[in-house]
Structure 1
């Protein structure tokens, strides 16, 4: 197994965008594709490593860029949420950027365009839920410690994606009322959905660098391990 990264520049609203395609060079044909949508900071090394782990499971991975080429943030920035805030304020633009990233992944030689899933972390978890809400033809999405507020416009009439939500029950950014609202929304939409809630777990539980207990953002190894296993089982069932 030789897993290789390839920078992928693609067009979209407000582009160009710079994603990362990750696949095993030993494959002799296209595989199911899994799009990875990063957290508030945008694409970074941690996301590329996640994509490599997904490729090791037998899938072609693609790290999406929703902010645009060169637009990245760090926790040390004066305004690390500025790129996310702009998209939170324009959910239709977020939807269109997600669809552009999806199309870029589907065009990759290593990807079977008819067998697609998407996973996301934090803001990325919110984003993949919006991708499902848009009616995009993806087989499933996984939201890790996402944010659940619905966009200010109706979901697509035909939501086809199966949905897995991996949630820290003590997440201050997604309190129980928002979880229940999401459950009601997805139930009303008639989609196949499941929720895995981890007790004594806050926001960012998959992020080993997360250490802000005063804000409820802390890495939790058990929830990290269990949610990855849940995702792997979910993808296996999809494909």
Structure 2
């Protein structure tokens, strides 16, 4: 195994680009292979998402840690991150356009089999990959970890052709049971092949070791939910990218 990493620039100024993402792959493998986008949490691309892209590379995929803010912007300051996230959340059409640009950038890579792609995301990145599926694009599947589930008013009313996997902490205050039910109804009405894994006594950010349990109500790292959700993802990718 010889894991490699390179940053690539993609996307147009019309949607806030250029964007800077990081590709990860195993150089010991030959030929095109499936590609998987990793959409970051609201702080922007960080070591956490890069590590997940690296893990995907070790599984034989091309992992692509993407940028949905532009210029590779990221921050460790929560106030700055919330401001950036809120601005983009108020313009979901632009968010969807940026996700489409990232998908096209992934598909254009020589290492990637453009017919076999998927996307996963954390927190706001979970919302971003669900919005990508809502655009009706031809992607094998999308997977959301503790993502926000609400449908954008700008989402087109069309069939969702990708498989959808949601890993959800039942006590997540950012995606309460009513929004979970609304999401399930939306997916069913739009013909999606969808599944939802709900983890009891588990809140938002359950995959993030930096989220200290009890520090904020409804938030906190959970080692078992993290392991279970990753196993679910691995099985999901093997199925939709076969």
TM range (shorter): over 0.9
Q: 2:17 is paired with a residue of what secondary structure?
A: coil
Shift of 1:153: 2.7
153 and 11 in structure 1: CA distance in 2 versus 1, 3 angstrom threshold = closer
- Per the alignment, residue 168 of structure 2 pairs with 167
Distance in 1 separating the partners of 2:112 and 2:217: 39
Give the equivalent residue in structure 1 for 2:98. 97
- 8 Å CA contact 2:131–2:155 kept in 1: the answer is no
Runs ≥4 residues deviating over 4 A:
none
Q: How does 1:1-239 map to 2 (within 5 A)?
A: 1-12=1-12, 13-74=15-76, 76-211=77-212, 213=214, 214-238=216-240, 239=242
Deviations 1:149-196, CA, capped at 9 Å, x for gaps: 100134342321000000000101110000000000000011100010
Q: TM-score, normalised by structure 1?
A: 0.96
Q: What is the CA-CA distance between 1:137 and the residue it aligns to?
A: 1.0
Cα separation, 1, equivalents of 2:99 and 2:235: 24
Q: Secondary structure at the match of 2:180?
A: helix
User: Separation in 1 of the partners of 2:173 and 2:204?
Assistant: 7
SS at match of 1:118: strand
CA contact (8 A) 1:135 1:156 kept: no
State the SS of the aligned residue for 1:210.
Answer: coil
Q: Distance in 2 between matches of 1:224 and 1:111?
A: 27
Q: Is the 8 A contact 2:67 2:73 kept in 1?
A: no
Following superposition, the deviation at residue 72 of structure 1 comes to 1.3
TM-score by length of 2: 0.95
Give yes or no for contact 2:39–2:120 (8 Å, CA) kept in 1. Answer: yes
Instruction: Name the CA distance, whole Å, in 1 between partners of 2:175 and 2:155.
Output: 21
Give the secondary structure class of the aligned counterpart of 1:73. Answer: coil
Q: How many residues align?
A: 238
Secondary structure at the counterpart of residue 172 of structure 1: coil
Asked if structure 1 preserves the Cα contact closer than 8 Å seen for 2:45 and 2:72, the reply is no
Matched residues in 1 for 2:78 and 2:38: separation?
23
* Structure 2: runs of 5 or more not aligned: none
**Are the equivalent residues in 1 in contact too, given 2:120–2:144 (CA < 8 A)?**
yes
Gaps of 5+ in 1: none
Contact 1:73–1:81 under 8 Å retained in 2 = no
